[in-house]
Structure 1
Amino acid sequence: MSSGRDPAPAIDEGPTEKCGVVGLSLSERDAALPAYYALYALQHRGQESAGIVTHDGFQQHQHIAMGLVGDAFDEGDIEGLAGPTGIGHVRYPTAGSIDESNAQPFTVSFKGGSLALSHNGNLVNAGEIRDELGDIGHAFTSDGDTEVIAHDLARNLLEADLVRAVKRTMDRIHGSYALTIMHGDTVLGLRDPEGNRPLVIGELEDGYILASESAAIDTLGGSVVRDVNPGELVVLDENGDGFDAYQLVERDRHAHCFFEYVYFARPDSVIDDTLVYEVRRDLGRKLWEESGVDTDVVMPVPDSGRAFASGYAEAAEGVEFAEGLMKNRYVGRTFIMPTQEARERAVRLKLNPIRSTVEGRTVTIIDDSIVRGTTSRQLVSLVREAGAEEVHVRIGAPPITAPCYMGINMATREELIAAEQDADDIAEIIDADSLAYLSNEAVAEAIGTDRSNLCMGCVTGEYPYDIDDEGTDREVNRPVIGDGGL
């Protein structure tokens, strides 16, 4: 959805994930420091703000600040967050403006106690619910959809017990969400009925953790228990001894975001029982099978293209895999250049060709996606200037032709190069000798699920939820499990 203001353009044209969430319930230590380390492991999911809220059994403590995790916290901040339960958040905005009012976790104090909420995803009916709550006296302090969830849940907690309240809120909110919630000193995890955003349960030596990705659990020396099921509520025991699970909503099919596997998630994470790294290698193999071209060398665009290129080269049998672009790791996603000319020139600050890999040779460049095409054109130009005789581009995903409404900061249709151009046209625009994408079917096969269980709205223009002026690939899903006493 709208970001609230137009951010200055960055040289990295790729989509950006909205958020990473974490929740902990421990028995022998404060939750703040483990939450801090877990957020570090999820830093790739959001670099705009970071926050942790804890509860010591009597009161809530919080520290939320703009910037990267390492900049947002110092030792004193962590020491001030007392209590064995807590939730955390890293943010990149797709709904709500870019300021501290929308940084998370979002906290609410009400007659029923304290409530804190961390959200990864995007609601498609937040405006409607905001208006309804406003009409009955709720005052909002931000323009983000997370506050909408918090207010609705707080209202329901005044009228029902915890599980019933969550179920009522689930019945009202539509869209993608993986939530960690803290009501008093009780930590909850909730995943939307479509399973669009990931959420996993882990066990530590002295408690349990909920996190967007398993890499956060690994960082803390824990073990993965399982993924939170789509439509499931998980309630961690307050003493860190275990958890209870409630399947509140079920669907006949789901809408897992395929881009988690292609781009967003860390390659060492396991999502829905599938190792992301192996999916990307298999996507590379399938890319060779569908559109392989014989060249002297296969090279990735660092870092996200590396696993694809490895699988592609392995399937090609005999084609050399080599690094042909060196990344400046001190130029991050948020590096800003004010003009188009400056942004194109700034690509050289981020990536520099390794001449010995490409000079006098035919080259295949492997990347995860093309969004606007600007970076791709500059990469091809860099490789040609370094002496490549031919430059072919292969993409480990289908062409992105439509915006995302499920929590990814994607470009508009007018900005998407594939919205109106086919592969041959785009190859000419970026000055490549050839360009090919991966098919939708190959993506589903590599992930290991039926195509109907994937959200590919940014590829097909059809979404799992009814969105104004957009298509849907299914009847508008509503809960198929009734209140059942809830």
Structure 2
Amino acid sequence: MPGKAKLANKPREKCGVVGISLEDRDAARSLYYSLYALQHRGQESAGIVTHDGFQQHEHVEMGLVGDAFDESDIEQLPGTQGIGHVRYPTAGGVNECCAQPFSVSFKSGSLGLAHNGNLVNDGEVRDQLEARGHAFTSNGDTEVIAHDLARNLLDEGLVSAVRETVQRIHGSYSLTVMHGEKVLGVRDPQGNRPLVLGKVDDGYVLASESSAIDTLGGERIRDVEPGELVILEPNGAGYESYQVADKPQTAHCFFEHVYFARPDSVLDDHLVYEVRRELGRKLWEESGIETDVVMPVPDSGRAFASGYAEAANDVGAKTEFAEGLMKNRYVGRTFIMPTQGEREQAVRLKLNPIKSTIDGRTVTLIDDSIVRGTTSSQLIELLYEAGAEEVHVRIGSPSIIAPCYMGIDMKTREELIAANRSVEDVRDEIGADSLQYISIDAITKALDSSSDDLCLGCVTGEYPYDIEGEDLDRDISRPTFGSADNTAD
């Protein structure tokens, strides 16, 4: 995908990470299966790094997991422990030099690092490392983390080195790290990005989502705590845990539950599917409208629509839940098409209306979010062409009004349809008879949380970290830091 892609019609996550330590069998195949389970989190590149007790082995390629690896690639990755990564770029280029895991060789050995998230001070740390003689091969923030950790490992033990790096880097991150025969998992002090610890018969697993652990026939143990380091011992012998950073106000990304994570994953002790159904029920409570049929935008709107229809029927509304749009799963993402006309054509190739469900009926269309609005307006047009008398749109997240700096591909306000627009303006733009978003209060209730413990930056414009160029007035205690020099040595 050469050049810079336009903002997606849906927000895109940055990455998925995994780390595995097994007793007496190579980890590469299990890592491969885990990456397949996390493919939804990144489709640009895939990679695995293993260690056989003597040296590190790696295979990193552009493309989907199934394209990046074949049987011979797996066979050439010996070792009972390793890490893996799937990537969607939000920091760094779309090329092989930014694919992960990122490997560094240094005096004390080798290091492989996989990163999900986004640093907000990587430029500052990079400048200081370059002044100390470090040479960088990419413009991504992952290499900054790898170089800083490698530098600390020259002078410190493993736990102290990780603690030094965590104090130095600021932003969102879940990391899996391969250092010698040990696999490490690190979650940022506010827990913005997810990381889960699990057990298989002959070892332990760290992964962005519990669904990857399920794929291996394992069991989720728990979420890695914000600011926690988990070290998987060699040969699946066990794990150790260290708190390497104080836990300030947490800032869990609410969009993991709304859109990014697989519905069958458990994140921060919540089954994602049930959260989405509960949000659908609350959406009915807040802005329900009785129509002939309620239908989801596949696949992301399905759980919301199910909960919405259930809540409607519980109070006697005569609303049918039905699939009114069929998805062609063999069509690529529409936002990489070179012209707007081609993107519009691709939407019609991807989603086709079922006219018997729609013709002559009033419709409520349920989706998880509206980013740019292009897809929403085209789908509403399709429904009217299929004979819908009215189309009412209900959205399972608050309106997205601001960029994300924590690892989601929403960088500018200019392409966000709801930025500086009222709900009525957006409704008019997409051509719906009515439009309502769910409230932030409903999000917090569905997650049994306080808004102070969630990252809501894209829907409030208030962020868990001070962002250069953003005017912040969030009245909770945000972490504050001096310059990187004050925490480095």
TMscore range, shorter length = over 0.9
Contact conserved, 2:149 with 2:165, CA < 8 A, in 1?
Answer: yes
2:50 pairs with 1:54: yes
How many angstroms does 1:103 deviate by? 0.2
How many angstroms does 1:330 deviate by? 0.3
How many angstroms does 1:332 deviate by? 3.0
AA in 1 matched with 2:344: E
Identify the residue that residue 159 of structure 2 maps to in structure 1.
163
Cα displacement string for residues 431-467 of structure 1 (whole angstroms, at most 9, x for unaligned residues): 1000000001101111121111100100111110111
Alignment of 1:29-48 (within 5 A): 29-48=25-44
2:387 pairs with 1:391: no
Cα displacement string for residues 401-456 of structure 1 (whole angstroms, at most 9, x for unaligned residues): 00100000114101111002111111111110000000011011111211111001
- Larger deviation: 418-427 or 393-402? 418-427
Cα displacement string for residues 255-292 of structure 1 (whole angstroms, at most 9, x for unaligned residues): 00000000000000000110000000000000000000
2:292 pairs with 1:303: no
Contact conserved, 2:334 with 2:346, CA < 8 A, in 1?
Answer: no
- In 1, distance between residues paired with 2:227 and 2:433? 46
Q: TM-score, normalised by structure 2?
A: 0.95
Contact conserved, 2:399 with 2:418, CA < 8 A, in 1?
Answer: yes
Unpaired runs of 5+ residues, structure 1, are 480-485
Runs of 4+ residues over 3 Å off in structure 1: none
Contact conserved, 2:248 with 2:479, CA < 8 A, in 1?
Answer: no
How many angstroms does 1:252 deviate by? 3.9
- In 1, distance between residues paired with 2:80 and 2:48? 12
Q: TM-score, normalised by structure 1?
A: 0.96
How many angstroms does 1:241 deviate by? 1.8
Identify the residue that residue 59 of structure 2 maps to in structure 1.
63
Give 3-state SS (helix, strand or coil) of 1:279's partner. Answer: helix
Identify the residue that residue 320 of structure 2 maps to in structure 1.
320
Contact conserved, 2:335 with 2:343, CA < 8 A, in 1?
Answer: no
- Considering only aligned residues, what root-mean-square deviation do their CA atoms show, in Å? 1.4
2:343 pairs with 1:333: no
| Percent sequence identity over aligned pairs | 70
How many angstroms does 1:478 deviate by? 4.8
- Larger deviation: 138-147 or 468-477? 468-477
- In 1, distance between residues paired with 2:102 and 2:188? 19
Identify the residue that residue 343 of structure 1 maps to in structure 2.
343
Q: How many residues align?
A: 476
- In 1, distance between residues paired with 2:169 and 2:411? 24
Alignment of 1:346-365 (within 5 A): 346-365=346-365
Alignment of 1:129-140 (within 5 A): 129-140=125-136
How many angstroms does 1:250 deviate by? 2.4
- In 2, distance between residues paired with 1:134 and 1:450? 41
2:451 pairs with 1:454: no
AA in 2 matched with 1:219: T
Contact conserved, 1:9 with 1:337, CA < 8 A, in 2?
Answer: no
- In 2, distance between residues paired with 1:334 and 1:205? 41
How many angstroms does 1:253 deviate by? 2.0
2:382 pairs with 1:382: yes
How many angstroms does 1:64 deviate by? 0.3
Alignment of 1:259-278 (within 5 A): 259-278=255-274
Identify the residue that residue 484 of structure 2 maps to in structure 1.
none
2:4 pairs with 1:7: yes
Contact conserved, 2:11 with 2:408, CA < 8 A, in 1?
Answer: yes
Contact conserved, 1:9 with 1:338, CA < 8 A, in 2?
Answer: no
- In 1, distance between residues paired with 2:119 and 2:336? 29
- In 1, distance between residues paired with 2:5 and 2:257? 28
- In 2, distance between residues paired with 1:178 and 1:334? 29
- In 2, distance between residues paired with 1:334 and 1:99? 20
2:77 pairs with 1:81: yes
Q: Which of the numbers 79, 91, 94 marks the counterpart of 1:95?
A: 91
Contact conserved, 1:380 with 1:391, CA < 8 A, in 2?
Answer: yes
How many angstroms does 1:28 deviate by? 1.5
Q: Which of the numbers 262, 282, 285 marks the counterpart of 1:289?
A: 285
Identify the residue that residue 479 of structure 2 maps to in structure 1.
477
AA in 1 matched with 2:392: H
Unpaired runs of 5+ residues, structure 2, are 482-488
2:179 pairs with 1:183: yes
